[in-house]
């Protein structure tokens, strides 16, 4: 199939939308921040609560209190109490959840499902994919970034959602609202620039080898995206050799640790007696992008090897695209660039490329080699397949 430029694809979708809207399936988002009772629910418009064959109409501004009774949930409205194993709540306006009565909370589009899961309250937000993305894009990329970068982010996030829809299947959901999936907020986090990016790319995802692309993304690739599979994306630098992501104030970084801190980060039970002049941290192996795969830690006659990603996590290093050196006998200095795992869309790099005049399609082509843009309807079969294609997020 011949690849259409993004503007032609958008134009064709716009013409098509006069008779057929872009495919917009529902997403079940596990709101992990809401797992304790009592929980208070209200809305500025009238709403409905359905459960155990009951339908209760709730007035605008009226508050429902959610409490747990074993495996069932009680909804209290003043002196009236309703009990069911599962509740479906929906209304014309977002529903607001809070942990304290008459306090500010979070307001969610779509409907809410309440039930008991593993002995705790579970709240699912069920809403169309495009509305879900309105609460993702402004939290995953600064809304102040250029429009083309935000469009690239919207397409990447949409692709990731389609590819990873089964990530929380065992929990009765599609995705969660945290960094384990994509950070998702309520309606109050929405921003006009991010909303326009979602709307202007509605129904478009990336496809490669007849399947949706796993649209992972990272804050700052450090000038060199990490390999993902068999393909190493191109170096993320302009014609002058300057990193596209260098506008990130934290692009270059340096962190210092005592050798004892590094050793303890290995999970050793007891800290060592550090022998003077006989300690070091070495890089044993790197991948094609220069990221550390394995470190070797030397302490006298003891040697330990640890995965680069594990030491990065335990020391809170921004990335594994780094160098390491020994100073003053027992001070370990890590110096590097970038932030995150480095795979997929480099968000600061996308912003730099957009400022240089590149369009969303051009940006995505760099970070996802071999991918093409396509209507979601073309890849909807993947959405329905019972496969667990989960990503590094």
Residue 386, exposed/middle/buried by CB under 10 A (0-12, 13-18, 19+)?
exposed
Torsion sign, CA atoms 24, 122, 169, 229: positive
Strands 26-30 and 175-176: parallel
pTM of the model: 0.89
What are the φ and ψ backbone dihedral angles of 156, each rounded to 5 degrees? -65, -45
Helices 147-163 and 360-367 pack at an angle, to 10 degrees, of 50
Determine the pLDDT at residue 389.
Answer: 55
Nearest to 392 by CA among 195, 226, 276, 277: 226
Helical (H) or strand (E) element with 252: strand 252-258
Cα of 217 vs its chain's centroid, Å: 8
119-170 per-position pLDDT tens digit? 999 999 999 999 999 999 999 999 999 999 999 999 999 999 999 988 999 9
Q: In the block, which residue shows the tokens 């979602």?
A: 198
Determine the pLDDT at residue 55.
Answer: 96
157-193 per-position pLDDT tens digit? 999 999 998 899 999 999 999 999 999 999 999 999 9
Neighbours of 149 (CB within 10 A): 25
Q: How far apart are CA 284 and CA 167, in angstroms?
A: 34
102: left (phi over 0), alpha (psi -120 to 50) or beta: left
Q: How far apart are CA 59 and CA 42, in angstroms?
A: 9
Largest CA distance in the chain: 76
Nearest to 24 by CA among 190, 187, 203, 156: 203
Q: In the block, which residue shows the tokens 């007035």?
A: 59
Determine the pLDDT at residue 392.
Answer: 60
Cα of 268 vs its chain's centroid, Å: 32
Determine the pLDDT at residue 18.
Answer: 42
Q: How far apart are CA 183 and CA 157, in angstroms?
A: 10
Helices 147-163 and 192-200 pack at an angle, to 10 degrees, of 60
Q: Are 317 and 336 in contact (CB under 8 A)?
A: yes
DSSP for 186-213, please give it: -GGG--HHHHHHHHHTTTEEEEETTEE-
State which residues of the chain have pLDDT below 70: 1-21, 230, 269-272, 379-393
Determine the pLDDT at residue 9.
Answer: 55
Residue 318 is encoded by which pair of tokens?
A: 């921004």
Determine the pLDDT at residue 319.
Answer: 98
- Lay out the sheet containing 322-327: strands in order across: 252-258, 331-337, 322-327
- Hey, which residues does 252 pair with through a beta bridge? 337
């Amino acid at each position: 199939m011949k690849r259409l430029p993004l503007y032609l694809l958008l134009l064709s979708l716009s013409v098509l939308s006069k008779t057929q809207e872009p495919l917009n399936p529902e997403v079940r988002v596990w709101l992990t921040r809401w797992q304790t009772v009592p929980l208070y629910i209200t809305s500025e418009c009238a709403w409905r609560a359905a459960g155990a064959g009951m339908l209760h109409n709730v007035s605008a501004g009226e508050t429902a209190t959610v409490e747990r009774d074993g495996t069932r949930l009680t909804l209290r409205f003043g002196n009236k109490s309703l009990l069911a194993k599962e509740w479906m709540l929906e209304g014309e306006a977002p529903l607001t959840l809070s942990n304290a009565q008459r306090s500010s909370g979070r307001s969610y589009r779509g409907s809410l499902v309440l039930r008991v899961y593993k002995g705790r309250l579970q709240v699912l937000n069920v809403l169309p994919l495009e509305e879900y993305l309105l609460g993702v894009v402004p939290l995953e990329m600064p809304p102040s970034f250029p429009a083309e970068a935000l469009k690239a982010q919207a397409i990447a996030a949409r692709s990731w959602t389609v590819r990873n829809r089964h990530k929380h299947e065992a929990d009765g959901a599609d995705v969660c609202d945290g960094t384990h999936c994509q950070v998702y907020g309520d309606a109050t986090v929405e921003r006009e620039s991010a909303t326009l990016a979602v709307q202007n790319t509605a129904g478009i995802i990336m496809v490669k080898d007849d399947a949706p692309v796993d649209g992972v993304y990272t804050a700052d690739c450090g000038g060199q995206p990490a390999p993902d599979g068999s393909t190493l994306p191109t170096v993320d630098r302009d014609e002058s050799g300057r990193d596209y992501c260098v506008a990130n104030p934290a692009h270059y970084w340096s962190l210092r640790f005592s050798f004892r801190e590094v050793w303890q980060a290995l999970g050793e039970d007891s800290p060592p007696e550090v022998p003077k002049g006989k300690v070091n941290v070495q890089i044993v192996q790197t991948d094609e992008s220069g990221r550390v795969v394995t470190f070797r830690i030397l302490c006298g006659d003891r040697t330990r090897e640890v995965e680069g990603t594990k030491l990065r996590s335990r020391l809170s290093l921004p990335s594994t695209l780094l160098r390491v050196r020994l100073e003053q006998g027992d001070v370990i200095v890590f110096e590097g660039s970038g932030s995150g795992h480095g795979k997929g869309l480099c968000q600061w790099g996308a912003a730099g490329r957009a400022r240089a005049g590149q369009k969303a399609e051009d940006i995505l082509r760099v970070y996802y080699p071999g991918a093409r843009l396509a209507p979601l309807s073309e890849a909807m079969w993947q959405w329905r397949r019972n496969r667990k294609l989960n990503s590094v997020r």
